[in-house]
Amino acid sequence: MVSIDNVYKTVLNILNKENRGYITPREFNSLANQAQNEIFEGYFSLRNYVVSNDSDYSDIRKNVEEKIALFENEESINATTFNNAAGNTTTNYFAYPTNFYRLGTVSVNAIHATEVSSQKILYLNKSPLTKPGVYCPVYVRHEGGIVIHPVISYATNINYIRKPAEVKWVGGTANGQVVASEADAAYQNFELHASEESELVVKVLAYAGVIIRAADITQAATAKEQQIIQSER
């Protein structure tokens, strides 16, 4: 976890030191969420091309997997009825949780379900030999969820990657100092790995430079971000 208060104050200190202006908490929260989402989504593309090594601590792929693991969830979901825009009804539809990002595995009554395409399920259901059963369930990805075959009444569990919680700095000023209200229920730190603090700062600074119309701040922050990215690879 990264302290949103640390990031906010670091950004303000850099801007104030350079006499470049000020961004409000509302502006900062918007930029902070954009930065967090960019870093989070970048994990999945980075994981695809980095090469593993034998080191316990400098294996880049392993480190990325560790960062993604912070967002792994397992949850039991219940069947509902889904009506699409064309008026067609889908039974045995299982909606994703509201914080869903990417699907991992699906199990029905503790039995692993295999993913198939919507086209393939039509062929599978035509033959008694290939038709899905309670001991060989399959699922099809659907709008905002999955459809299980056959129609079942068993518990369905999914392993998935959730989205990071939306960050929010709450506070004000006291004696000329910026003070956070961490006890406020709306206050939310970054959920990213602690190693991402520097990149969060430079990303927010790059966006802040656009808001306060300081192109040099944006350029310097972008250059620093590239240095961080290269050092991680």
* Phi and psi torsions of 168, nearest 5°: -155, 120
- Output the CA–CA distances (angstroms, integers) from residue 148 to 84, 128, 197, 220, in the order listed: 17, 17, 41, 51
What is the per-residue pLDDT for 132?
A: 92
Measured between alpha carbons, how far is 163 from 102 in angstroms, rounded to an integer?
9
46 token code pair: 């980075």
pLDDT tier for residue 58 given thresholds of 50, 70 and 90: low
Measured between alpha carbons, how far is 199 from 221 in angstroms, rounded to an integer?
9
Query: Could you tell me which residue, 40 or 23, shows the higher pLDDT?
Result: 40
Measured between alpha carbons, how far is 65 from 50 in angstroms, rounded to an integer?
11
What is the per-residue pLDDT for 38?
A: 92
Note the pLDDT tens digit of each residue in 96-116: 999 999 999 999 989 999 999
Q: What is the mean pLDDT of residues 82-93?
A: 69
Output the average pLDDT for the chain.
83
Looking at residue 231, the DSSP 8-state letter turns out to be: H
Q: What three-state secondary structure class fits 200?
A: helix
Share of the chain above pLDDT 70, in %: 79
Most confident of 12-16, 77-81, 156-160: 156-160
Is 24 a residue whose pLDDT tops 90? Answer: no
Note the pLDDT tens digit of each residue in 184-207: 999 999 999 999 999 899 899 888
Looking at residue 83, the DSSP 8-state letter turns out to be: E
Which residue carries 């039509």 as its tokens?
Answer: 122
What is the per-residue pLDDT for 125?
A: 86
What is the per-residue pLDDT for 224?
A: 57
What is the per-residue pLDDT for 216?
A: 59
pLDDT tier for residue 142 given thresholds of 50, 70 and 90: confident
* Beta-sheet pairing, 89-95 with 79-83: antiparallel
Count of CB atoms within 10 A of residue 201's CB? 22
Beta strands in 46-113 (DSSP E): 72-77, 79-83, 89-95, 100-108, 111-112
Task: List the domain boundaries for the chain.
Answer: 4-69+164-231, 73-162
What is the per-residue pLDDT for 162?
A: 97
pLDDT tier for residue 13 given thresholds of 50, 70 and 90: confident
pLDDT tier for residue 221 given thresholds of 50, 70 and 90: low
What is the per-residue pLDDT for 31?
A: 93
Taking a C-beta distance cutoff of 8 angstroms, is the pair 168, 8 a contact?
no
What is the per-residue pLDDT for 217?
A: 59
